[in-house]
Chains A and B, each alone.
Chain A
Amino acid sequence: MEAFLNQLPIGLSIGAVLLLIALGLTFTFGQMGVINMAHGEFIMAGAYTAYLLQDLTGRMAVIVALPVAFLVAGLMGLILERAAIRHFYGRPLDTLLLTWGVSLVLQQLARDLFGAPNVQVQAPTWLQGGIASLPYNRLFIFGLAVATVIGIWAYMNRTGAGRRMQAVMQNRQLAAVSGINTARVDQRTFFIGSGLAGVAGVALTLIGPVGPALGTYYIVDAFLVVVAGGLGQLRGAVIAAAGLGLLNSYAEFWSDASLAKVIVFAAIIAFLQFRPQGLFVLRSRALT
């Protein structure tokens, strides 16, 4: 029973990780229809940022790296958007393949720059230990996820740029004719979406390996969260991440890790039978 109860916070903390890795995608995918397979490598970039900052800041690297990684990954995203993706709007499946190519190059680049073996990022000492079954570093990630969601919410609802972003997401043409510079909004969205990947990467150094393959471990899960949550939907992403986290944690608790993954996949297929567009849908009259 105790173990069973313990799974609840564990499930939520898994959900927090899923949310962090998927949040950026929700917006780049939701607003621009870009399926960014290089998102995983932006996460990796965030993790390596923390690794590099260690030389300067020691064990505080994880904290200092949060804003820095946001900028680094965000800039990488911006460059990608400017250099390639903007030519691809309206061809989302092509962006998938394009960004996959980018992700291969970035992986190899990381291997050349940092070496193939994993590197270590030391966690701050005050993150050692925990309450009951929940380590402090999990709580930290949980808090970070909550803070990020609040930040995004505030950005989208309390700033002009955020409102423009929502407008473009809901109706690109209408937004464009209302005088919104959609290209600029796209850039900004891509910057933020990629930056969030960087933040997630920093958080992941606390619990997982930091190496060139880092991104590949998370990308499929991230997309599943987006699919289940609905495009561009903050609340959808939050609920989907929490739901999948809990499902994952209990499925693994009762069976094993392999089966849990299969169960989660089956659940998503079943779920899409009821809600083919994910939890929350932006209503639109668009038709193919």
Chain B
Amino acid sequence: MSPIIEIRGLSVVFDGFRAIDGIDLTVEEGELRFLIGPNGAGKTTLVDVITGLTRPTTGEVVFDGRSLAGLREHSIVRLGVGRTFQTSVVFEELTVLENLDLAASFRRPLWSLTRRRRGISEAVADALETTGLRELADRPAGVLSHGQRQWLEIGMLLTQSPKLLLLDEPVAGMSKDERERTGELLTSVADDHTVIVIEHDMEFLRRYASQVTVLHEGKVLIEGSVDQVRDDPRVQEVYLGRKRGDAVSTGS
């Protein structure tokens, strides 16, 4: 196996605040990697840097053997990096089908988009199937529930056959049933994709994660299997302990 993504010496400074402070991280092709950490650990910032939304202060990201430095967001997507957002952003005015179709058409030249869509492409049909949104295909995405939106977003990514998927808290705010569905979706997606998941939910983590990286205050705290990580005293301290500490400090 070869690394699909390598992050070397990455730092991000916002107006003096070090959101990321020298992270090195390697993810192998085909891996399902979970990124966890308390609030402010720099998880989303890391994803932002990989996808070009935030420019690193130092360090670089190498994807599939190629540095991403200076590339704009859409160029990075075209290299094969797809992401979802914490608060899902689907296009509410467009139907579910149109959302997926739009995602699937991203490699077409602009002029060819001016033709009307005829039929449903294979990739879109597959995505409808995988996400279970076939029934809702012709409804505007605005009427979807929160969970359905997340699935739609993941479905949109799938139509683009990315080499790497970055999912930012896919189950945040979901009901128990929705989490279950999302978990299944994640498992099936991870079969043939490299996936990095940012997640808070420990229960979800335990059920679906294998490799976990823990971030803390912009640094990598530990990397290992779920059990290793869970049993690590440092993780318990920063992850659980700090929460207790927070409660104390706000009380004082």
Question: Residues of A at under 8 Å CB distance from B?
Answer: 283, 287
Contacts and interface: CB of A to CB of B under 8 A. Distances in A.
Contacts of A287: 53, 85, 89
Nearest to B85: A287
A283 B12 CA distance: 14
Please classify the interface of chain B as helix (H, G, I), strand (E, B), loop, or mixed, using the class held by over half of its residues: loop
Question: 5 closest Cβ contacts across the A-B interface?
Answer: A283-B15, A283-B14, A287-B53, A287-B85, A287-B89
Contacts of B15: 283
Interface in B68-94: 85, 89
Nearest to A288: B89
Contacts of B53: 287
B72 to A, nearest CB: 14
Contacts of A283: 14-15
A236 to B, nearest CB: 15
Interface residues of B, number: 5
Contacts of B14: 283
Nearest to B44: A285
Interface of B: 14-15, 53, 85, 89
A287 B54 CA distance: 12
5 contacts: A283-B14, A283-B15, A287-B53, A287-B85, A287-B89
Nearest to B45: A285
A208 to B, nearest CB: 41
A283 B14 CA distance: 8
A116 B89 CA distance: 52
A287 B89 CA distance: 10
Contacts of B89: 287
A235 to B, nearest CB: 15
A271 to B, nearest CB: 21
A10 to B, nearest CB: 37
B244 to A, nearest CB: 23
A287 B15 CA distance: 19
A283 B53 CA distance: 13
Contacts of B85: 287
A287 B53 CA distance: 9
A198 to B, nearest CB: 35
A279 B109 CA distance: 36
A287 B14 CA distance: 16
A172 to B, nearest CB: 15
A283 B45 CA distance: 14
A230 to B, nearest CB: 14
Nearest to B89: A287
B222 to A, nearest CB: 27
A283 B19 CA distance: 13
Nearest to B48: A285
A283 B89 CA distance: 21
A283 B15 CA distance: 8
A141 B228 CA distance: 70
A240 B89 CA distance: 36
A79 B15 CA distance: 38
A283 B16 CA distance: 12
A287 B84 CA distance: 13
A31 B85 CA distance: 26
A20 to B, nearest CB: 30
A19 B229 CA distance: 57
